Amino acid sequence: MLRLVILSFLAIVAASAVMWGAVAVAAEVVSRNHKPRGEMVDIGGRNLRLVCEGPKGATPVIWMEAGAFSGAADFAAIQQKLTAKGLRSCAYDRAGMGYSDAGPRPRDGDAIVGDLARLMAASGEPGPYVLMGHSMAGLYLRQFAASNPDRVVGLVLLDAVTPEMIARPEASQFADRMQGVARLGALAGSLGLTKPLYWWGDRIGLPPAGKAEKRRGFISGRQSRTAYIEVQSWRTAAEQAYAAGPLRPEWPVAVITAGPDTPQMALWNEVRQAPARSSHAPMIEAVPSANHRTMLGLTYGDHAVAGVEHVLREAMKAKVETERQPEA
């Protein structure tokens, strides 16, 4: 009897392994057959994937920086919505993420902001830009804006982290937990254990092209390893962003946050909203029914678009006022 139980258990394990392997192979085949959007841009011996959509015109381009664990795919829905408004936007994959070539370590703020500046210069997309960032991208955009003020029109921050936020004890503890999660993700991705989860890789609510890219990245061992390297540098990136200096008060800043109105969320939002409160032209909006991921999707992406429209409108007002002032 015991032998029969053991044999049955081993048979179930073997069958499960075969099924898992078959699903993993299918996921790899499907992901490799998808043609990515955008183009590869040489930034000096390395290529980064850049996705620019929407008509070219006199209106500033909206340049997007993704949060941790992903790249241009995260903005597919918002880019679609901006294009429908006649606005041009550019999103990209950081080095080692998505379809972009790997970059040298460490992947801290200096490295990422340096790549971003080179990509903008090589893209052929004229500045200055409206900068849009999600989550940890808030650190990189803070450093970029403070270091390159002539390339900035204003900012749209989506549940974005600030350098001051990382300094708080609760945020520091969160960073430690995320580092552990990223380490496990890198191990699982490198062993191919995430491949059967391909069909659950999009929890944002993206259009088909973005969904396919997001799922491909979700099962990529290389991307999971790069994400872990980035997470390891979060504290350094926060220090670099803080050292670069504050945002200029004349820049319009829109801050969009997601999640229910809880005491913990109010504590986070107090720090997230600080860049807008320091601006002469602020916009602050909370979207309680959205979460950190879905605020980028087709259902809630209109709030990000409204933030862009606010920044463009206020920037135009400031430009008109400046032109009206008599010369000294």
Q: Side chain identity at 237, as an amino acid letter? A: A
Q: Which pLDDT band, with edges at 50, 70 and 90, does 252 fall under? A: very high
Q: What's the number of domains the chain is made of?
A: 1
Q: What is the DSSP string of 237-304?
A: HHHHHHHH-PPPTTS-EEEEEES---HHHHHHHHHHTHHHHTSSSEEEEEETT--TTGGGSTTTHHHH
Q: Is residue 310 part of a domain?
A: yes
Domain assignment present for 106: yes
Specify if 171 maps to a domain. Answer: yes
Structure tokens at 37: 């959007």
What's the pLDDT score for residue 324?
78
Average pLDDT over residues 37-45: 97
Considering the entire predicted model, what is its pTM?
0.90
Return the pLDDT at 177: 86
Q: DSSP for 129-168, please give it.
A: EEEEEETTHHHHHHHHHHH-GGGEEEEEEES---HHHHTS
Mean pLDDT value of segment 42-47: 97
Q: Cis bond leading into 55, ω under 30°?
A: no
C-alpha span between 44 and 39 (Å, rounded): 15
pLDDT tens, position by position, 52-76: 999 999 999 999 999 999 999 999 9
pLDDT tens digits, one per residue of 74-97: 999 999 999 999 999 999 999 999
The confidence band for 195, taking pLDDT boundaries of 50, 70 and 90, is low
Pairing of strands 39-42, 47-53: antiparallel
Label residue 3 by pLDDT band (50, 70, 90): low
Query: What is the mean predicted confidence (pLDDT) over 199-220?
Result: 88
Q: Is the pLDDT of residue 197 over 60?
A: yes
Arithmetic mean of pLDDT, 300-325 = 91
pLDDT of 223 strictly over 60:
yes
Asked whether residue 25 is domain-assigned, the answer is no
Q: State residue 184's pLDDT score.
A: 86
- Where does the pLDDT of residue 6 fall: very low under 50, low under 70, confident under 90, or very high at 90 and above? low
Residue 11 domain-assigned (yes or no): no
Question: Is residue 6 domain-resident?
Answer: no
Q: Say what the pLDDT of residue 16 is.
A: 39
- Average pLDDT (105-124) is 97
Residue of 89 and 175 predicted with greater confidence: 89
Q: Is the pLDDT of residue 298 over 50?
A: yes
- pLDDT at 33 (0 to 100): 54
Query: What range defines the domain where residue 71 resides?
Result: 34-324
Helix axes 208-218, 2-32, angle to 10 degrees: 130
- Res. 19 pLDDT band, cuts 50 70 90: very low
pLDDT band with cut points at 50, 70 and 90 for residue 326: low
Beta-carbon contacts of residue 255 (< 8 Å; ≥ 6 apart): 157, 160, 272, 273, 275, 276, 282, 283, 284, 285, 307
- Distance (Å, rounded) from C-alpha 254 to C-alpha 272? 11
pLDDT > 90? residue 313: yes
Residue 245: the pLDDT is: 96
Tokens of 114: 């340096």
CB atoms near residue 19 (< 10 Å): 11
Which of 43-47, 106-110, 116-120, 217-221 is least confident? 217-221
What is the per-residue pLDDT for 2? Answer: 54
Give pLDDT, residue 15: 41
- pLDDT-derived band at 198 (thresholds 50, 70, 90) equals low
Which residue matches tokens 């001051």?
164
Burial of 282 from C-beta contacts in 10 A (0-12 / 13-18 / 19+):
middle
User: pLDDT exceeding 90 applies to what percent of the chain?
Assistant: 69
In the predicted structure, residue 31 carries a pLDDT above the cut 50: no
pLDDT at 14: 43
From 144, 165, 187, select the one nearest 235 (Cα to Cα).
165
Q: Let me know if residue 29 belongs to a domain.
A: no
Residue 216, domain CATH: 3.40.50.1820
318 in a domain, yes or no? Answer: yes
Amino acid 322: pLDDT = 73
